[in-house]
Structures are given as structure tokens and as C-alpha cells.
Amino acid sequence: MTLFLTLAACMGAVNKKTSSPVAAFCIGLTVSANILAGGQLSGACMNPARAFGPAVVTGRWGFHWIFWAGPLCGALITVTLVRLLLGDQVTRVWLK
């Protein structure tokens, strides 16, 4: 879920080649789709801080590492895709 959200933010608002005036709407739709798709499974946790607060209050730390590893891996995959393949000419390292 974090992969889709960060990819929508990077490609819609940050990247010069693909930026759009409707980027905020697209990011909002991505958040809505993530909530509908992952709400029942993980509570739509796209941010590790979102899982940390309830874990502190309830004291349940079982499998808490997944809520940190998933978003971090998703963000790293986004950075890799944008930096190597999808970014504009200034950002892209490979396939210039």
C-alpha cells in the first residue's frame, strides 16, 4: 500500500515530467483505494506511526515488525523505480 501511495505522490506531484494539477485528487484516490483494499487486513496501515500508537496503548507487539518492514520496503521500491526507471531526465540514473 505504501508503494502505491508514494509512487502516486512522486509521479503526480514531484516528478517534473509527469506532474499534474490533479495530483492531489489522484493521491486521495490512491489513499481511498488502499483503505478499501487493505482496511480489513491490516487496518490500512500505510505509515508505521499509524501502527505504533495503537500498539503502545494496547501493549500488543506481536508481528509489529511487519508494520515497519512493509512500508519501508514499499518506499524503498518506489525510490528505486523513480530513481532508475520512471523519473525525469534529471532524476533518472539509468536509461537517460
pLDDT digits (tens, 9 = 90+) for 11-45: 888 777 777 788 888 888 888 888 888 877 777 77
Q: Are 40 and 50 in contact (CB under 8 A)?
A: no
pLDDT-based confidence at 9, cuts 50/70/90?
Answer: confident
16-48: string of b/e by CB count within 10 Å (b at 16+)?
eeeeeeebeeebeebbeebeeeeeeebebbbee
**How far apart, in Å, do the first and last CA atoms of the chain sit?**
29
When pLDDT is averaged across residues 55-63 and rounded to a whole number, the result is 86
In the chain, what are the domains?
Answer: 2-86 (1.20.1080.10)
Specify the pTM: 0.73
